[in-house]
Structure formats: C-alpha cells, structure tokens
Structure 1
Amino acid sequence: MTHPVICERAKGHYCGCSACGGAQHGWTNGLSLARDPSPVARQKARDDSDLAWAKTRPPVGRRKPSRDRQAAATDSATVDLVDWLSENPDTIDRIQEIGDILAGPVIQELDKKFGGSRPREARRQLNSDLWCDLLVAVAEAIEKLSKAMDRIPGYVTTVILQSRKAEGRSVLLDALVGLAVRTAWGPIKSMIHTTGIEEIQRGCRILAVLICPAPENHKAVQDGALLPLAKEGLLETSRERLEQVFPEDWVRRLREGLDGA
C-alpha cells in the first residue's frame, strides 16, 4: 500500500492517514532531515519553528496558553531532537529499526486480526496516539522491569489502556492493544540484547515525539518522552518554551531533573 508523503512530512498536529494508521506519521521525514549531511533543511525547520513561536502571544492573567503556542513549543523541541540525531547517527539507525517494526509487522498483524474487508478504515481508527502510547510505555517498562522481561508486554498493555482512559481519549479494544504490543515487543527485546537498554529507551522516546501528531495534547508523551529527553536532546530555548505552555508540575519535575543532571 502506497504511503502518502504528505503524512510523512506532516507539519500539522493531527493525523488521519488511513494508509499507515499513524505508524509512519512524521518520523520518517524527521530521520531524513537528521541524516542529511547539509544543515540547510534542518535550519529551515528551526526557522519555521521560531517564526511560529514568535507569532503567538503569552496568555493574559490565568488563561491557558493558546493551542498555537503549545504547538510551537513542542515543534521547537522536535527540531532540537532532529538536530541531536544529526550528531548521533547510531541512534538514528535504532529509531529506524523500531519504526520499521511498527509500520511493518505490527500493522500487518493488526490488519490480519482486525482489518477484515476494510483495512484502511481499521487503520484510520489507530490514529488516536496508539503508537506514541506504545513507545513511551515500552521505554518505561524497560526501566522498571529490566530483570523480568517476560512481564513487559502485559505491563505495557495495561499502561496504554489506563493512560487512554485517564486522558479521556478513545478506547481501543484490549485485544488490539495487546496484539500490537506483543508483535512489537519480540523484535524490540532482541534489539535490547544487542544494543542495550539505555539506547533502546532513548530511541523509543525520540520516536514517540516524532510520531506523535500533537505532543502538546498528549500527557504520556510529555511525561514519558519530552521530560527525560530534556537533559540531553533539548536546547535551553525549547525548554523555556515548554515551561511556558506545560503545567506547573511538569515544569517542577523538569527543573528537578536538570538540577540533578
């Protein structure tokens, strides 16, 4: 099935692609930018991000930041991560491997089990942040259950379902989430044995940010990806922008983490 380039290069903060179910949203273009030996395209992305931020205004009084301002802040963080990747090509390869697992075997298994005669319609239902949920939960599970690897698929499935319910997002079938997790976990587990826990965690977190259509609306990505990546992948400008648009508790944890770095 041909995948539209417009989804891979998406700049908007919504994904409704029925070709990939969101599994190729944004990240393939992000890796292409990171691999490009010329910095021109990456600088263009940074200039666009800075301009978008400059066009927004701080909230007045106790009003919440506008959606445009929140989106511009997370776009700034994404640009930082792409720049960081351009200087760390080994991590690019890890992210490519993990992304290919989602866009290949996992989607294929979901098609067989749930696609029926209308696989494109079934894939469209996956565009509700399943992939970033899965990646963030895997990174968290690796850290908590590294000595009990066989428990990770069940843990990840539970975390995803609880997170979606807590955030009021659309409920996915337990069986669908479980199948996606089990199919992804096998090859990711093999990668851990050859590459190491820390590298796979980092790859999952960066991919979660790149694949998420709107990190500013997705608490799991904010807490499980942007927060731990802030120490090594984000510039001070982006951290300051995120502090202006994210809740006080997130800002407090960010500063505590940076003080301990």
Structure 2
Amino acid sequence: MTIGRTGHSKGCEKAEKPPCACACGGAEHGWQEGLAIAAAPSDAPLREFAQAADQAWDQAAKEAADSTARRRKPWQQKEKGQQAAVRAFVADVVRWLRRDQDLYGAAERLGEPFRISRDKDPEDPRRRFTPEEDERFVESHVIPRLRREFGDQRIDAFQQHARNAHFWCELLAQTARALDEFRTRYDQAKQAVVTALTSIGEQRPDGWAALLPERVVIRRAVELVFEQLPRAATGGVAVEDAFRLVWPARVLAVLMCREPRRHPAVLEYCVKPITREGSAQVREQVKDRLRQAFPATWPAPPGSVPGAPGG
C-alpha cells in the first residue's frame, strides 16, 4: 500500500493540549512541534512559547485571585492554571532539548516509530514512493504495522479510544518507568509495560476501560515499540541500548501528552523526575507554579509551609 498523510493534520503536531481528533490517535500529538522549536535556527520560537505560557499563568492567577476575593476561599489554581503551569514546564523541557543535542537526537529517533505515515519527499513532493520504500516504512512504524496485522477497521476503532484515553503517552510513560526500574532486564521491562496497560488495578486516564477488550492489540503495540527501542537509542540492535532511553521517553511523553493534570502516569513518571533532574534545569519559578497548580500531588520543598503560595 502507498502511505500518505490522509487523516492526520499538521495542527495535531502543533497541538498544545488534547483532545486529538485525527487518525494518529494521539501518537503524533504535539511532540513534533516541540522538537521543531528546539531545533529552530534562533531562540525566537522558544521565547514566544515561554512568553505565552507566562501570560496564560498570569491570567489564570488573576482569575483565581478574583474568585478567591468573591468567595473568601483559599487561593488555588484550577484548570487554566494547571494548563499554564504545564505549558511553562514544557517550555523548559524544550529548552533542555535545545541545549542537549544528544537528548534531542534520542527523542527524535524515539518519536519516529510513532508516526502514522511518511511525509512527502521534500526534494520532490510529487514523487510516488516505491512499494519497497513503503514496506520499509511499515516495518519500522508501530501503527502502520498494527494496521497490516489487525486490519484498518479494527485499528481505526482502537485509535478512537486511544485518543480519548491517552494510550500512546501512557505507553511511553510506562516504558520510561519500566526501563528505569528493570535496568538491563529487557523482557521483564517489556512485560511490565504490557501488564500495566492491560490491568485495571491502577489509576488510568478516563476512557481506559474501553481499550481493555483489545488486550491483544495493546500487547502487540508494546512489542512493536520495544522492537524499535534499540534503534532509537543508538541506531543499533543491542537490546541493552534501550535502557539509555529513560529520559528521552519521559521527554517525549510530556511533549505528546500536554495534559498531565488528567494523566497520573505522565505526571508521576515523567514530569516529576524531570523537575528533580539537575540537567533539565527546570526553573524554580516553574516548579513553584507546578506546586501551586497541583497541591494535592506535588511535594512541597523542604522547609516550606504547607498550603502557602509556592509551597
């Protein structure tokens, strides 16, 4: 079959928050724009992104303060504040990618298998790809492989639920957790991701129950992702190389999700470790915003007063 861009929009690649409404089911949501900003020739796109996040936070804080004054309740951030805090955090993640070219390269390689279709040849947009080129694309990309193995109708239905349930960023977040926890034990790490995604015992994004009848597809999706991990790590095939992808997986999950306020695994396994990692250099101002936006789940800094702004 010939691979086209039908069903996927550039708007999805630039999206700042869910829901995703195209055929990628969330797998291409947001992250390509984050990488593009990180790779831009100048700092201007990143400055614009960060400034927009600051403005959104200021507006959310003003609305929250006004609401507090009217209702005489403690100051707290709601949905807009949470979104603005996450956006500022994403800006710092993009800044980290821009600063660390090794991290950027690994995140880019890790993202590639999640694409649903090939782009046109930039040298000749009218060129038709050969069957051999299309076959190589399908072999190295997860969702096209699923379509070949399970059929378009079944995967179309799966993707409808996947976009609502944050399936692909959940898969990445659980992959980051498993790679970090099992270290060198590849098969155990892979099985841990399968178990996490097919069980009902843990907190999952809304809509996850609709995915569980397709446990066979979920298991195969995990297998295909893990098949590509060594190549994403170094371009090689040694499975132990995959364990270098803990941080790129966390970064890609954050860029793909953009809404960890509704996604516990991304918040716990990706956002929190990144804020604690010194090389990420997340600004203290951004950490304060996250603590204010997520007071029930974000740890206060040592010596702070619980419930105080910034604590």
**Short-chain TM bin:** 0.7 to 0.9
Runs of 4+ in 1 over 2 A off after TM superposition: 15-19, 57-65, 112-125, 160-169, 189-199, 247-250
1:255 and 1:79, CA in 2 relative to 1: closer, same or farther beyond 3 A? farther
Identity %, equivalent residues:
26
* TM-score, structure 1 as length reference: 0.87
The corresponding residue for 2:216 is 175
The 1-side partners of 2:21 and 2:170 are apart by 18
Aligned with 2:38 (options 31, 34, 37) = 34
Structure 1: segments with no counterpart, 5+ residues: 257-261
Aligned with 2:81 (options 48, 69, 90) = 69
Moved more, 216-225 or 113-122: 113-122
Aligned with 2:291 (options 229, 243, 248) = 243
Structure in which a larger fraction of residues adopt helix? 1
Q: Is 2:181 the partner of 1:136?
A: no
Structure-to-structure mapping, 1:2-151, within 5 angstroms:
2=5, 3-11=8-16, 13-57=17-61, 58=64, 60=68, 61=73, 65-104=77-116, 105-117=141-153, 120-127=156-163, 128-151=165-188
Deviations 1:213-257 (CA, angstroms, capped at 9, x unpaired): 4122111111000111003322111111000011444324x769x
Q: Is the 8 A contact 2:35 2:104 kept in 1?
A: yes
The 2-side partners of 1:119 and 1:176 are apart by 8
The 2-side partners of 1:149 and 1:53 are apart by 41
What is the CA-CA distance between 1:20 and the residue it aligns to? 1.4
The 2-side partners of 1:110 and 1:62 are apart by 49
Deviations 1:115-171 (CA, angstroms, capped at 9, x unpaired): 434754543322121111111111111122224211222110112234785236222
Structure 2: segments with no counterpart, 5+ residues: 117-140, 304-311
* Greater Rg by CA: 2
Q: What do you get for the CA RMSD once the two structures are aligned?
A: 2.5
